[in-house]
Structure 1
């Protein structure tokens, strides 16, 4: 059956007239109006109303006029809109988010009170709603860590932390493991009840001692490869590696293949 338009939306006058012509042709061939309406998926009362409107008041068959919506009382004026557009397109605020732009409008030389949603709508209309601020910085560091240069042991060490279940519910131990990227040797490992940066530093201290690297120049010490977990990027951990002169390499978020050896180790 033909599906009738959704409620609240009538058919255009030309389509109504086509349907009425089809029903008239069907009646001329011997089909009753009710059966023709059933085939078309229409109510006979609807067809009768269309016929009456066409016969008595042809003007009613015309399309309804477009409804003009009144302008909101709080809509931006032309001058205010110009200020918003100028701020969005200014190079000084190229990396500012819509919230920062709204705040800049509020605290500017000519205070203009505009919500961040309105600023975002203008950004979208101007095709300027791409990544801004911190999102731009994050999107630039989505490349895989370079490990093709590794051609021997103790050049790059992989490390990670995993949970160990205990007999008590919601109580875990934490396994810290350090692997050599080239030989897959387990350089050092620790089990702790705490998930803190001090355990990471102790793990690396034991690894350097186990491999006898403390007597070697710091420039020959291995680099670090890990994921972007909280303990890997905490201020204490970053400061520790900076003091030792060990560069940190990070895998991409939710990309296990960037550091596959330590991931498969667990």
Structure 2
């Protein structure tokens, strides 16, 4: 190509005008120059073996080390550095990965837990005090970084808030206290109530679950890492935070306590629920 260029026209300018890659032009020119019986150079042959590539024996040696009892549970990067500490160098980390991939051994080499299948919680309530659902919401205060915890327990059948608590902290002791008081207040028959919640720390603590066992209350939990398995409580908290008079931040604990008390009274006796065909919450449990 260089011999056919007019005087004053460089290869760079010609490639720019024709929108060609100079490296491609050079590669094609070099490949076309070998038209006789002469074999092209090593770097032009796609099937050429890299001069520093491991032979079959060396590859097998690397695989034997990777699959040995002392290294079979370690990733290649760990094996590589362990061998260096012993004064041994077999190959690079990328070569180890390449050899493992070629043998279909690439991936997590440590023992893994078998995949878990968690059933979708399906709860049906045909009467009040048969299924309760509860959750905890954070209410911000005007003090930066300070939040109040609102515990709300709701009856699934009637959407009635059967118990609630406002606290400056969130823990399993308060959850246990709330559930114990609510169960005795409504004279829950042992074995009759199912309590649904997510997998927060207060809902999965041993002391809390032990209390439910003592009260013969069946515990139901959302699936791990699934945020929509407790929709009724989430919908109730959305109703709370979208009230026209909801303050974005509360002045102090007493302010939040007064507002939550008025909200629960309104929610239980005046709020019309779309899931109840426009009726208000059933007031029987109160």
Partner Cα separation in structure 2 for residue 157 and residue 229 of structure 1:
17
- Structure 1 match to 2:221: 250
Kindly indicate which of the two structures has a greater share of residues assigned to helix. Answer: 1
Q: 2:176 aligns with which of 172, 184, 201?
A: 201
- Structure 1 match to 2:122: 146
Higher RCO (C-alpha under 8 Å, 6+ residues apart) = 2
Q: Are residue 224 (structure 1) and residue 195 (structure 2) matched?
A: yes
Deviation at 1:194, TM superposition (A): 1.7
Partner Cα separation in structure 1 for residue 175 and residue 233 of structure 2:
15
Q: Tell me, what secondary structure is at the counterpart of 1:264?
A: helix
Please report the RMSD computed on the Cα atoms of aligned residues, expressed in angstroms: 4.7
Alpha carbons of structure 1 residues 66 and 245: separation in structure 2 relative to 1, 3 Å: same
Where do 5+ consecutive residues of structure 1 fail to align?
1-19, 89-96, 103-117
Alpha carbons of structure 1 residues 42 and 229: separation in structure 2 relative to 1, 3 Å: closer
- Equivalenced residue count is 206
Deviation at 1:56, TM superposition (A): 11
The 8 Å contact of residues 228 and 253 in structure 1, kept in 2 or not, is answered as yes
Q: Tell me, what secondary structure is at the counterpart of 2:228?
A: helix
Deviation at 1:205, TM superposition (A): 1.8
CA deviations on 1:46-77 (whole Å, 9 max, x unpaired) are 65994799389965566243314344999855
Where do 5+ consecutive residues of structure 2 fail to align?
79-95, 238-286
Q: Tell me, what secondary structure is at the counterpart of 2:191?
A: helix
TM-score between the two structures when normalised by the length of structure 2: 0.55
Q: Are residue 66 (structure 1) and residue 49 (structure 2) matched?
A: yes
Q: Tell me, what secondary structure is at the counterpart of 1:219?
A: coil
Q: Tell me, what secondary structure is at the counterpart of 1:225?
A: strand
Alpha carbons of structure 1 residues 184 and 130: separation in structure 2 relative to 1, 3 Å: farther
Q: Tell me, what secondary structure is at the counterpart of 2:164?
A: strand
TM-score between the two structures when normalised by the length of structure 1: 0.59
